[in-house]
Every structure is written in structure tokens, then in C-alpha cells.
Amino acid sequence: MANIKIIAATGCPTGIAHTFMAEEALKQAAAKLGVDIKVETHGQVGVQNELSAEDIKQADGVIIAADKDVGADRFIGKPVLDVPVARGIRDAEALIQTLINKKAPIYGKKTAEKTAEETDIIESGSAGRKIYKHLMNGVSHMLPFVVGGGVLIAISFLFGIHSADPKHPSYNAFAELLNKTGAFGFQLMVPILSAYIADSMAKRPGLIVGFIGGMIASTGGAGFLGGIVSGFLAGLIIYGLSYVLKKMPQSLEGLKAIFLYPVLGIFLIGAVMFVLVEPMTAINEGMKHFLADFQGASPVILGLIIGCMSAFDMGGPVNKAAYVTGTALLAEGNQYFMAGVSAACITPPLVIAFATLFFRKYFSQQDRNAGLVNFILGATHITEGAIPFAAKKPIPVIPILMIGSSVSAILTYSFGVQVPAPHGGFLVLPVVNGAFQWVVSILIGSLIGAFLYGLYQKRAYEKIEKG
């Protein structure tokens, strides 16, 4: 088995935690099974440990554990398992064993379209998964703009809420610089989202058309939802153009890429989006007003929904739906919604950390060490630190984390806390409006979850002892 060589590519939308957790899980599983593995990571700093053409040529199989575009076309003709990044963390050994058993489909052939019913590993044929990967590729590229811009705007508020306005008595030139620079990050959010959805679908021609479609959506008021629609439309437009132009001579391929795709693509996305932008703007405004009304009238229900979503898969698709909605509303000026989302995302790792601290006797030394690390992860808004604990006992642990996150979010909304930054955890406390109430909300939710988890762990420990 030692002569088997496997390569892998991992990537998650934020590129912070899941990407590298999947890398570590695959390496550990490969060592256990006695196979060689090289893992390429697609994190927020870019591609690391990049796979060479020789690596791909020599590989006996490929694992793609990613929720974003990692350039799968280079693996055509190879046995490939294409799964969500969470599966790479949870089922690393099973994935590698499937390649060892030569049960993986050949990428690029119809066999790659097998469903999960035909094999319990392969997920590459799902249309829904492909759509999700395209969407998350856009989100992945968008987040640094939102986080960078949002934090700069938030810091500008330290000088006064109106300190960036030259006409206001509290005006500060440095605050204006921070505010205006950060605002560019927010202004590019929708175009970048749209461009990289289209890029995932149709590569560079899609990127160009998607960016223009996103600009129309952004300037027209269609916002985040308009950016998603324009991104997928741009990808489809390039698909259509490639089909219409496929009979052109090979010698004119360069003309297609540099002239026909951009000119025709930009014209078509403009024609479609100028029709769609008005109804999409109405939907966008309606959603904002609905959430704002809901937030004021029913903080308990809203907090319960956000808490459960954030803790359900801790950085996965459901968590990202809540977080991305929060960033979109933050860009529209709603700082209340993000406060609850942030509280709910910070809580799960703190639940783990407090549980391993207060109920030390009932956790292994390895779990206690990992628990201490979760204090740092939670404080910096990295929810994924709770995943290894949830993976061991998902049925009791995930509901407990959902309870803790829901309490934190409900209290945050009830106190009317405002968080102007989309990431950073407790590092952004100086710019939080209602910082004390926010910390108290998170601590209460975390401690409730910690005692529930600790009591469960105590019961399980005592049951084994009596054994």
C-alpha cells in the first residue's frame, strides 16, 4: 500500500479553518493507511503547497474536499472524489480507502456523475452541490473586501459617529480617510461576488461579464441578491456564447476570448440586468424591511433562528447563509443583525472551552488542550474550533451548541447591540455599540451551553466508569 500516491485539494469559503482542518485530517488518515499524500490548500492567503503537473500525473487518485472552485479541470482522466470540505474533515479515512479500493469515478466521464445512492462517498454529480460551489467561490472572494472595509469603517467610528463628515463639528481627517477607504471595500462587495460566481462557472470570460452584471446590480440598488442573480446569469451567458461560437475556426480562438466574449457578454448581461434590476431592488428592499421589523418585534424568534443556523454546521452552508446575510445587511447600514450573528458564531467554541475548563475530569488531556485553544478561536470569531468535539458526538453536542448560540443571539437582539464590523470577534469591542451587553450575552449563552455539555460529558463518563 505504501506505493499508492494520492493528491488532494481543500478549500472553504472563508479559507480560515475548514481548509486546514481538512488538510490535517487527510494527512493523518493517509499516515494511518500507509499511503503518500500531498494536499494543496486554497486558503484566504491563496494557494499553498500547489500541486505540480508531475504530482497530478503520478497520482493514483484525487480528493477534492472543497466548497469553492479549486481548478478541478486539471484532474480530468484521474479517479476523483469531489466532496464538501466538511466531509474531508469527517470522513478522511473513508475517502482514502475508496481510492485504495479503486471505487472512485474517473473525472470528466459519465461515471463521475454517480450519485450518493450509488456510492456513499461520491457527491460530484449533484447539481445543487455545483450551484453551491459556484456561490461559495463568489462568497470566498467577497469576504476579504467586506471584512477589510467593514473593520476600517468601524475604526473610523471611534473618532465619533459623524467624524468622517467634513461639515460636522466632530470631523477628523484620519477618520474620513478610514471611512472612505473602507467604503470602497463595501462598494466592491456585490461586483466581486457576482464576478467570481461567474468565474467559477465560465472562467475568465465569465469573470468579466459577472463583474459588469454585479456593478449594475450594486449601483441599481439590487444589492446582494442582485449580485447572486447576475453572477449566475453571466456564467450562463458565456455558456450560451461558447455554444453559438463553437464552430468558429481554431485560428480565431484568441478573437473570441479578447473581443467577442467581452463585447457580446457585457451587452447581454447589461440588457438582462437593466430589466431585472428594478424587481430585484424591490425584493432586496422588502427583505431588509422584513428583517428589520422582525428584529424589533420578535428578537426571541430571530435569535433562535440565527443561533440554530450558526451552530448547526459551524462554518458550513447553513452557518454561511446566516453570516453572509449579516454582511449584506451590514453593507446596507443594518448593524443590529450582524451583532446577533457574530454572537451566535462566537459562542460554540466558547461553550467547548468553558466545558473543558469547568468539567476537566470528564475530558481527556487531548480534549482539554484543544478546549483551551477554543478560547482564542471563539474570541476571534472562528466557529470551526468546536467541530472536532461535535464530530465525536453530533447528536447531543450540536443541539447543545445551538441552544448556547440561540441564547447569545436572543440576548444580543434584546439589548439592541450594534456591531459595525463583520468579523474579528472581541477584537472589535472598541467599536461595538453596547459592548458590555454584547459580551454578557455571549458569556451567558456560552456558560449555559458549557454546563449542558459538561453535565452530558459527566454522565457519559460515569456510565463508562460503572461499566
Say yes or no to pLDDT of 114 above 60. no
Say yes or no to pLDDT of 118 above 50. no
Residue bearing the bigger pLDDT, 112 or 13:
13
Say yes or no to pLDDT of 122 above 50. no
Instruction: Answer with the one of 63, 92, 125 that is the final residue of a domain.
Output: 125
> Are the beta carbons of 382 and 323 closer than 8 angstroms?
no
Are residue 91 and residue 141 in the same domain, yes or no? no
Across 118-127, average pLDDT? 46
Are residue 179 and residue 214 in the same domain, yes or no? yes
Range with the poorest average pLDDT among 61-65, 67-71, 127-131:
127-131
Q: How far apart are CA 174 and CA 156, in angstroms?
A: 8
Q: How far apart are CA 53 and CA 29, in angstroms?
A: 24
Say yes or no to pLDDT of 286 above 50. yes
CATH code for the domain in which residue 64 is found: 3.40.50.2300
Confidence at 111, pLDDT banded by 50, 70, 90: very low
Are residue 26 and residue 150 in the same domain, yes or no? no
Are residue 253 and residue 169 in the same domain, yes or no? yes
Q: How far apart are CA 70 and CA 80, in angstroms?
A: 13
Say yes or no to pLDDT of 256 above 80. yes
Are residue 141 and residue 233 in the same domain, yes or no? yes
What is the average pLDDT score of the chain? 85
- The three grid cell numbers given for residue 206, joined into one nine-digit string: 465569465
The answer to whether residue 245 sits within a structural domain is: yes
Could you read off the pLDDT of 309-334 as tens digits, one per residue? 889 877 667 787 788 788 878 877 78
Residue bearing the bigger pLDDT, 71 or 112:
71
DSSP 282: H
Sheet holding 46-48, edge to edge: 46-48, 36-43, 5-11, 61-66, 80-83
Q: How far apart are CA 250 and CA 233, in angstroms?
A: 27
Could you read off the pLDDT of 195-237 as tens digits, one per residue? 999 999 998 899 999 999 999 998 988 888 889 999 999 999 9
Across 353-371, average pLDDT? 89
Are residue 320 and residue 428 in the same domain, yes or no? yes
Q: How far apart are CA 37 and CA 466, in angstroms?
A: 42
Return the pLDDT at 467: 60
Say yes or no to pLDDT of 124 above 50. no
Confidence at 347, pLDDT banded by 50, 70, 90: very high
Are residue 13 and residue 97 in the same domain, yes or no? yes
Are residue 385 and residue 448 in the same domain, yes or no? yes
Confidence at 113, pLDDT banded by 50, 70, 90: very low
Confidence at 112, pLDDT banded by 50, 70, 90: very low
Return the pLDDT at 126: 65
The answer to whether residue 372 sits within a structural domain is: yes
The answer to whether residue 355 sits within a structural domain is: yes
The answer to whether residue 33 sits within a structural domain is: yes
Nearest by Cα to 261 from 202, 190, 191 = 202
The answer to whether residue 397 sits within a structural domain is: yes
Confidence at 155, pLDDT banded by 50, 70, 90: confident
Say yes or no to pLDDT of 283 above 90. no
Total number of domains in the chain: 3
Instruction: Answer with the one of 279, 312, 341 that is the final residue of a domain.
Output: 279
Across 399-405, average pLDDT? 95
Say yes or no to pLDDT of 396 above 80. yes
Return the pLDDT at 295: 66
The answer to whether residue 293 sits within a structural domain is: no
Across 271-292, average pLDDT? 83
Among residues 12, 146, 215, 431, the one annotated as catalytic is: 12
The answer to whether residue 285 sits within a structural domain is: no
Q: How far apart are CA 240 and CA 237, in angstroms?
A: 5
Instruction: Answer with the one of 125, 154, 174 that is the final residue of a domain.
Output: 125
Are residue 97 and residue 173 in the same domain, yes or no? no
Residue bearing the bigger pLDDT, 76 or 161:
76
- Structural domain range at position 119: 5-125
Say yes or no to pLDDT of 1 above 70. no
Active-site annotation holds for 308: no
Are residue 359 and residue 418 in the same domain, yes or no? yes
Residue bearing the bigger pLDDT, 329 or 336:
336
Are residue 320 and residue 425 in the same domain, yes or no? yes
Say yes or no to pLDDT of 8 above 90. yes
Say yes or no to pLDDT of 284 above 80. no
Are residue 258 and residue 110 in the same domain, yes or no? no
Residue bearing the bigger pLDDT, 302 or 320:
302
Across 8-26, average pLDDT? 85
Residue with cell 479541470: 73
Q: Which residues are CB-contacts of 66 (< 8 A; sequence separation ≥ 6)?
A: 9, 10, 11, 12, 42, 84, 85, 88, 133
Beta bridge partners of 410: none
The answer to whether residue 219 sits within a structural domain is: yes
